[in-house]
């Protein structure tokens, strides 16, 4: 592994740690409160907080393991149901976002599944006030198409993330904030694929990927 690859892996790890900080911190706070609390009702609230935070941390770890790691086995294909199982709790846990799933129940290339997961992560981040996240995929002869659409009252995607997605960002400028978008771009262009993104002023955020398989 080259030094550049190690540096990029460290950026993805930084993103993972950032996302885990909140639920893990909540677990720590809950344990501290539980140690000093004797009221039964308050102790139950602490236990509920611990259970909720532990589930959130576990859900994020499962998602990142499939998106960035070797989950799904060492084969060339992954069952998209595995992707849905890690996407749904992450997207819907806040109660503000609805997931619409339109992915056929047939095996997908592992690279396509990782692209799908990374694009879902970016689109979900952009739904700052919640909304609807639609995930679709279609396999054609020699190609795999993926479409992610986010709609909601407020959609924000940083210009640097947009540039990373479309390959317009200087690789030297990639940081932990843009690493996920850059990973999706690099996975897509391997073998001649492309990523496309709706204009910033569009009513919806739409990200499309066409991957050669």
Q: Please, are residues 144 and 108 in contact by the beta-carbon 8 Å criterion?
A: yes
What pLDDT digit, counting tens, does each position of 98-155 carry? Answer: 999 999 989 999 999 999 999 999 999 999 999 999 999 999 888 999 999 999 999 9
Hey, what are 194's tokens?
């492309």
Smallest Cα–Cα separation from 88: which of 62, 114, 108? Answer: 62
**Residues forming a β-bridge with 182:** none
Predicted local confidence at residue 71, as pLDDT? 57
Per-residue buried b or exposed e for 86-105, using 16+ beta carbons within 10 Å of the residue's own CB: bbebbbeeeeebebeeebee
Average pLDDT of 168-197? Answer: 91
Predicted local confidence at residue 70, as pLDDT? 67
Residue carrying the six token digits 């060339």: 76
What pLDDT digit, counting tens, does each position of 32-52 carry? Answer: 888 888 888 988 988 998 999
pTM value is 0.90
Domain ranges in the chain are: 3-212
Q: Please, are residues 213 and 142 in contact by the beta-carbon 8 Å criterion?
A: yes
**Spatial distance between the Cα atoms of 33 and 101, rounded to a whole number of angstroms:** 39
Q: Is the pLDDT of residue 162 over 50?
A: yes
Burial of 146 (0-12, 13-18, 19+ CB in 10 A): buried
- State how far Cα 208 lies from the chain centre: 15
**Spatial distance between the Cα atoms of 42 and 38, rounded to a whole number of angstroms:** 8
**Spatial distance between the Cα atoms of 96 and 116, rounded to a whole number of angstroms:** 21
pLDDT-derived band at 213 (thresholds 50, 70, 90) equals confident
Average pLDDT of 68-82? Answer: 78
**Spatial distance between the Cα atoms of 185 and 181, rounded to a whole number of angstroms:** 6
**Spatial distance between the Cα atoms of 183 and 195, rounded to a whole number of angstroms:** 12
Predicted local confidence at residue 25, as pLDDT? 92
Question: Per CATH, the architecture of 3-212 is what?
Answer: 2-Layer Sandwich (3.30)
Residue 120 dihedral angles phi and psi, to the nearest 5°: -60, -40
């Amino acid at each position: 592994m080259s030094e550049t690859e190690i540096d990029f892996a460290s950026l993805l790890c930084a993103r993972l740690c950032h996302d885990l900080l909140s639920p893990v911190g909540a677990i720590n706070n809950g344990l501290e409160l539980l140690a000093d609390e004797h009221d039964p009702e308050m102790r139950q609230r602490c236990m509920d907080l611990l259970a909720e935070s532990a589930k959130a941390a576990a859900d994020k770890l499962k998602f990142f393991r499939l998106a960035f790691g070797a989950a799904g086995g060492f084969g060339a294909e992954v069952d998209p149901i595995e992707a849905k199982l890690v996407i749904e709790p992450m997207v819907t846990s806040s109660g503000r976002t609805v997931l619409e799933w339109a992915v056929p129940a047939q095996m997908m290339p592992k690279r396509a599944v990782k692209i799908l997961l990374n694009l879902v992560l970016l689109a979900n981040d952009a739904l700052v006030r919640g909304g609807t996240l639609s995930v679709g995929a279609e396999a054609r002869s020699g190609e795999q198409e993926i479409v992610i659409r986010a709609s909601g009252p407020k959609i924000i995607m940083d210009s640097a993330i947009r540039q990373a997605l479309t390959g317009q960002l200087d690789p030297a400028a990639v940081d932990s904030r843009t690493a996920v978008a850059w990973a999706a771009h690099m996975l897509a262009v391997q073998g001649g694929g492309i990523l496309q993104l709706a204009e910033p002023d569009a009513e919806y955020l739409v990200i499309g990927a066409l991957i050669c398989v």
